[in-house]
Structure formats: C-alpha cells, structure tokens
Amino acid sequence: MVQKHLHMYKQVRSGSSQFKCIDPECTHLSTKSLIKGNLAICNGCAKEFVLTTEALRRVYPKCNNCIKGNTDSIESIEEEIQKNVDTSAIESLVKEL
Ligand SMILES: [Zn+2]
Ligand SMILES: [Zn+2]
C-alpha cells in the first residue's frame, strides 16, 4: 500500500488529457480537467504546487518557478553562446587553416 501522498503527474502520452502519478506503486490516473487546481508535486523542484493550465500543457507538469527558471536558463545559455562566438576568433581559425 502506498501512503497517501500528493501525486507527481506525468501525461500518459503526449497530447493526451490523461495524467497519471509517476510513483510506480500508485495507480492514480485522472484527467486534466479533474486535476486542474489540485495540489501536486512539481517534476522540477519536487515541491508542492497548484496544477495550472500552463503546467498541464507539459508531459511533466512543473510549477511556475520551474517553468520560468527553465526559460531563463535557456535564454542565458543562448546569450552565453552569442558572447562566445567572437568573429575575430573564427577569422584567425580560418587563417590557420
Ligand atoms: Zn500517486
Ligand atoms: Zn518546481
């Protein structure tokens, strides 16, 4: 028997409206409209959060902090890549070749 817990959801398959708990011992299965507004465990930070429409758009629902955190880190990585692409460095590489 699994202890009563907040479920950590995973979309049954991409595009499906059904979500199940990722705990292998938990058989909880529900639909998007039923779990929306409920508390669940975030797939990113493992903290409890309220399932929002935005969160339920993902295969692994995450809290707002994790959704924001992810986009922030992706943007900063892109910025970092752009900073590192120094055209003069490329030019000197071309000369060496
Ligand atoms: Zn569960
Ligand atoms: Zn989170």
For residue 28, the model assigns a pLDDT of 96
How many whole angstroms from 43 Cα to the centroid of ligand 2? 6
How many whole angstroms from 33 Cα to the centroid of ligand 2? 21
The model carries a pTM of 0.69
Let me know if residue 1 belongs to a domain: no
Let me know if residue 38 belongs to a domain: yes
pLDDT of 74 over the 90 cut: no
Let me know if residue 2 belongs to a domain: no
Task: Please provide the distance, in angstroms rounded to a whole number, between the alpha carbons at the two ends of the chain.
Answer: 66
Let me know if residue 3 belongs to a domain: no
Beta-carbon contacts of 82 under 8 Å, excluding residues fewer than 6 positions away, are: none
Q: What is the dihedral of CA 63, 65, 68, 74, to 10 degrees?
A: -100
Mean local confidence (pLDDT), 71-87 = 59
Q: What would the pLDDT profile of 14-65 be if each residue is shown by its tens digit?
A: 889 999 999 999 999 999 999 999 999 999 999 999 999 999 999 999 999 9
Choice between 71 and 40, residue whose per-residue pLDDT is larger: 40
What are φ and ψ of residue 20, in 5° steps?
A: -125, 160
How many whole angstroms from 5 Cα to the centroid of ligand 2? 17
Let me know if residue 4 belongs to a domain: no
Let me know if residue 16 belongs to a domain: yes
Q: Which residues pair with 20 in a beta bridge?
A: 10, 29
How many whole angstroms from 36 Cα to the centroid of ligand 1? 15
Domain that holds residue 61: 9-95
How many whole angstroms from 79 Cα to the centroid of ligand 1? 39
pLDDT of 72 over the 60 cut: no
Let me know if residue 58 belongs to a domain: yes
How many whole angstroms from 47 Cα to the centroid of ligand 2? 6
Choice between 52 and 73, residue whose per-residue pLDDT is larger: 52
Q: How many domains does the chain have?
A: 1
Indicate which ligand has the atom closest to the C-alpha of 52: 2
